[in-house]
Amino acid sequence: MHGSRPATWRRRWREAALRLIALTVTLEATSAVAAEPKADSPERNWPCRQILVGRLSVAAVWSGHSIEGVAWRDDQAVADIVARLAARRTPLEDAERAIEDFARSQGAGKTKKLVSVFAGLFETLNDERTQVIEGLLRFGAKQKELAEKIRAENTLPREGSGTDPPHASRQGGESVAGDLEWDLRVFDERRQSLTYACETPALIEQRLFALAKVIQRSLE
């Protein structure tokens, strides 16, 4: 008889802890919904603390020659260096030196080549940044769905208590608690993985700004 008390207390503490965590998730989801500017806005699923900024404009990062209609992919040398510069595995310092070396090697055709390089870099990094943002929005939508599921699961043990036979209620409560614990773990692991992902659009933007500055300096 006495041996069952610690197990009972542990179960009650565990259920109380699960409810507390689930309440926190619910409050976060409710707060996010309340902050939405529009019901049909994509921002409603934005999971990051950073302000959502859509596609970048050329004017925000470039004050040089127009890049409209520049067919940068038609020039293999330009396409090759764009791929190298855009790859985040290429350290920024190496990318900056690559631009300077490329500029020195172009002679009289330097201006046209460098404008093409920027056109390719802007298109490539802007597209990559957009893909990351779209992925984060899909992630945010899934987190909201999971938060709603957790909120529903959190109410089940209390709604069912006292209405079912003791044996069935205990089995059902344990099953719900298990589902709730699993969903909370998934929710929390996803949330922890957001830290770097949410910084990625800004990192891509910073890389584009830095390389655009080097390209413009090399045009002088």
pLDDT band at 143 (very low <50, low <70, confident <90, very high): confident
pLDDT at 3 exceeding the cut of 70: no
Average pLDDT over residues 68-72: 94
HEC profile of 126-171: HHHHHHHHHHHHHHHHHHHHHHHHHHHHHHHHHHHCCCCCHHHHHH
pLDDT at 197 exceeding the cut of 80: yes
What is residue 38's predicted lDDT score, i.e. its pLDDT? Answer: 53
Q: Looking at per-residue confidence, does 66 or 188 come out higher? A: 66
Average pLDDT over residues 198-215: 95
Q: φ, ψ for residue 117 (rounded to 5)?
A: -60, -45
Reference 36, options 22, 52, 23, 55; nearest CA is 52
Residues 6+ apart with CB under 8 A from 139: 47, 190, 194, 197
pLDDT at 84 exceeding the cut of 50: yes
Q: Exposed (0-12), middle (13-18) or buried (19+): which is 161, by Cβ within 10 Å?
A: exposed
Q: Where are the domains of the chain?
A: 4-53+126-200
Q: Looking at per-residue confidence, does 54 or 26 come out higher? A: 54
Average pLDDT over residues 63-77: 94
pLDDT at 64 exceeding the cut of 60: yes
Q: Looking at per-residue confidence, does 42 or 158 come out higher? A: 42
pLDDT band at 15 (very low <50, low <70, confident <90, very high): low
Rounded distance, CA 38 to CA 26, Å? 20
The answer to whether 111 and 64 are in contact (CB under 8 A) is no
